[in-house]
A and B are shown apart, each in its own frame.
Chain A
Amino acid sequence: MSGLFWFVEGILFCVALLGLRAWTQDRGVPMPLWKWILVVGWLGLLGFSLAFIGTSLGEGETVAAVKGGALFILITVIVGVGFWRILGFSNRVDERDERDERPRPAAAESTGSVDEEI
């Protein structure tokens, strides 16, 4: 059961990262290795916070779940907001402008509408 659980968790984790990759590509945010490390670290913090709450509830320690959960979730949110800015997720690149400035491939079929390429 434990092995199966971590197998599924691994798949979900990979899917989450693939989704993030697609999302950052669409927003034109470059993602070098250090950014991925920060993202994984934040996901670890989120997982720890939720696991702490679950474990405390399972132990019957409601106060620990509420107080500890509030503290760790708050830390997770603050760190998340900080990372969001550091990683450049909030600076949406105007892809249309960027792509307009790129030289177009000569062979590309184009009607002239930039919407095609999005």
Chain B
Amino acid sequence: MTLDQKQDEEKNSSGLTRRQLLKASGLAGTVLGSAGLGLLGYQSGKDPSTYTGNESFQGAAQTFDRNRFAVDVPHYEKIGPTQRVDARTEVVFSRVSRLRRGWDEEKGVEGLDDQLREYYARVPEDLETDVHLIEEIFPIHREEAERHHGEFLLAEAWSNAMGEVWPDAVDTPPEESDVPSGSHGEPAEPLKMKSPEKTAVLIKKIAYQLGSVLVGITKLNPDWVYSHAMRGRGFDPEQPLEIPKHWEYAIVVGTPMSWDPMYANPNYGTSLDAYSKTRIVALRLTSFIKQLGYPARPHVPGTEYDLMVPPVVIDAGLGEQGRHGVVITPELGSNFRPAVITTNLPMKVDKPIEFGVQDFCRTCKICAENCPSGSISTGKREEVRGYRRYKIDSAKCHSFWFSNLGNLGCRICVAVCPYTRKSNWLHRTALKVSSNDPTGLSHTILTQMQKSFYPAPDPRDYYVPLLGGKNESYRKPPWWLKTEDFIDL
């Protein structure tokens, strides 16, 4: 017997030989190591720091390597003569607002103004939806809101609080509002910047410092500017909107909505949450640019903007448009509320990116299957104003905003999108796999996993009871929005 073997045979105080102890330790190491990974996973899933956008003001959240996925032309294709959007009628908010003011059941369409008559003659299905909304849905919504008010009181209070800080953007024509006024000591002439590259780096850094989570820069495509202004802002809505010459570049900034309420849509989430933050970033960045002596104008949804924001976000390389019409970014998925600043400050522009969204959306369809109003197409992309994209029925979508309770809107498509996930190891890995898979096999597997592992309520259940629903939300609300836990109703 060798010395080693003898030592192996010597039993320690626990009655095990050294060799038996080694084997037992190996088994224990396996169990403990595995348990540690499970616990690490639990911590990773629970950790609030994995909610992208909540980490810092240092740009640390814009993590995706966009250069690898940069393309020279965006994924939407120009396939016909393009047409700018007439915000007076083609933007559902303006249209329904005008309809409510002018609708008379006895006169019908003939009692409406010229623009509305022309629009409804062209899109008769929207007339049916819009009239149904103001005649049928609004009264039901009022009745249900009164009946269930207390249930969503904290959610509504929180949303209203977020909307309380809502500074006005501009209300005078661009030649007045956009140019540096000298009120903050702005220079009379634009400062000479060293290079467009350095300026782009500086503007992005400033935007991050101001609280933007993602930033991108592009040349402004005139097709995205409304043909007629939606809410004035110094333009006469009855006159064609002439694009100011200094709207040469577009800087896109934005923030996510708070994640837990967003998952509890349509009742508990609120767009005011992110829009109020993004608005402040945009206004501050506008001020910064003006102090360099350059004109700038903020376009800040949900109320004050002169252009369609999503295609600008795509051009600026921040993401791709999904089937639901919302831009999907690599870091935040669809949970991104952007704003645009138009300026002529010369900057190096970013390239659009393609990281697999078009292929993913082609087969996924989860947003369409879960959309309570059936606004999202399950078919192929088609021509919309000269560009190929998925068509959205904005009238039906808007109608549902008043068919559920809690905060205004829906955002179910944002919450169920497989890209709208926390930034932990699991979902980052899935994103990497899907972004780098040219075969599309992983898209099919991930979609099936999403459908099976992350079930959603029946879309009908999102409606108020009088419309056949159960006031359901996609996920349970966060503890701090459960009214019944804090207030005696």
Instruction: Give the B-binding residues of A (Cβ under 8 A).
Output: 5, 8-9, 11-23, 26, 43, 46-47, 50-61, 63-64, 67-68, 109, 116-117
Contact = CB atoms under 8 A, between A and B. Distances in A.
Given A51-B41, A54-B45, A58-B46, A68 B29 contact: no
B422 interface: yes
Contact of A51 (B28, B37, B47, B454): B37
Which of A15, A43, A46 is packed against the most chain B CB atoms within 10 Å? Answer: A15
Interface of B: 1, 5, 19, 22-30, 32-47, 422, 424-426, 449, 452-455, 475-476
Given A50-B34, A54-B42, A16 B29 contact: yes
B12 to A, nearest CB: 15
B23 A58 contact: no
Given A22-B19, A63-B455, A68-B453, A12 B39 contact: no
Contact of B453 (A13, A18, A61): A61
Contacts of A19: 22-27, 29-30
Q: Which label, helix, strand, loop or mixed, suits the secondary structure of the B interface?
A: helix
Ranked 6 nearest A-B pairs via Cβ: A19-B26, A58-B45, A54-B41, A51-B41, A15-B29, A58-B46
Contacts of B26: 15-23
A46 B33 CA distance: 10
B324 to A, nearest CB: 21
A5 to B, nearest CB: 7
Given A19-B22, A59-B46, A61-B453, A50 B41 contact: yes
Contacts of B37: 9, 47, 50-51, 54
A23 B28 CA distance: 13
Contacts of A116: 1
Nearest to B19: A22
22 contacts: A16-B30, A18-B26, A19-B26, A19-B30, A22-B19, A22-B22, A23-B26, A51-B40, A54-B37, A54-B41, A55-B424, A56-B41, A56-B45, A57-B45, A58-B46, A59-B422, A60-B475, A61-B453, A63-B453, A67-B452, A117-B1, A117-B5
B38 A53 contact: yes
A67 B453 CA distance: 6
A16 B23 contact: no
Contact of B42 (A18, A21, A26, A55): A55
B50 to A, nearest CB: 9
A22 B39 CA distance: 28
A12 B449 CA distance: 32
A23 B24 CA distance: 9
Given A12-B29, A117-B1, 14 more contacts: A8-B36, A12-B36, A13-B29, A15-B26, A21-B26, A43-B30, A43-B33, A47-B34, A57-B45, A58-B46, A59-B424, A60-B476, A61-B454, A117-B5
Given A55-B426, A59-B45, A116-B1, A50 B453 contact: no
Contacts of B1: 109, 116-117
B23 A23 contact: yes
A51 B25 contact: no
B36 A58 contact: no
